[in-house]
Structure 1
Amino acid sequence: MDEILTKSTRAAFWFLAISLMVWAVWPEWRIYSAGVVLGVSASLVNAFLLRKRVAWIGTLSKDNPNPPRKVGLGLASRLAVVLLAAMLAHRYPDLFHLPSVLYSCFFMPVVSLFFAILRNRRTF
């Protein structure tokens, strides 16, 4: 999982760099590229929250077959990150394009799935 997340993070940073270059070069595309930057940033935060949660569950299940319930870092945290990004885009429509933010919030899951499929094909 760490290999896939590392590759996905590297792809996200490349995509962020390209989006920032678009923001700097084409002023008429600034609202869209700023939305993409906000959405991909939220997607990166969600990926790291999910990684932390999966690692916690993995270590806990190895040590204890009946793990206690932990509050936090679950679905609510990841939904709150996307909600915060959407609220920022809704609050400042002159800075961020809301559909761009929402579409790019799915960047890390899609890229991670793509790299997982490539890794699976290479393995078999």
Structure 2
Amino acid sequence: MNRFRAVWPIVDETIPFPDLCREANAEIPRLAAQARAHLTRVGRFLIAPSDLVPGSGRVTAWSLVYEAPATPVRRSTITATSERERTYATNDHRACPRCGIVRDARPASLCNDCEPLARAENAHEAAA
């Protein structure tokens, strides 16, 4: 199963969690479209230390993370407008099996963001 993940830095820590989620929820359809992901179910929000969130940029101490199951959008449905996008859409790019982000990757390999998370999950499951 593929996953879609979006990350926002939490700049103002006084804003309540439901308000942060409401603000971020408005951006999810646009971000999923940019990532060429079709969300298959409703996801979940969580707050995590930025040091532990790949892709957070560690700009702030905490990050708001949204994860949801998703499927990659087929390349044939992508309308490429620029030369770079046409080249990208026709090259052999693959979706990360964990998050679904389309990247220049080997078949069945995780992206650089998901690889450390998967290793940590496997270590946690092995320790349990």
TM-score, structure 2 length as denominator?
Answer: 0.30
- Identify the structure with the greater strand proportion: 2
Of structures 1 and 2, the one with the larger relative CO (CA 8 A, separation 6+) is 1
Larger radius of gyration: 1
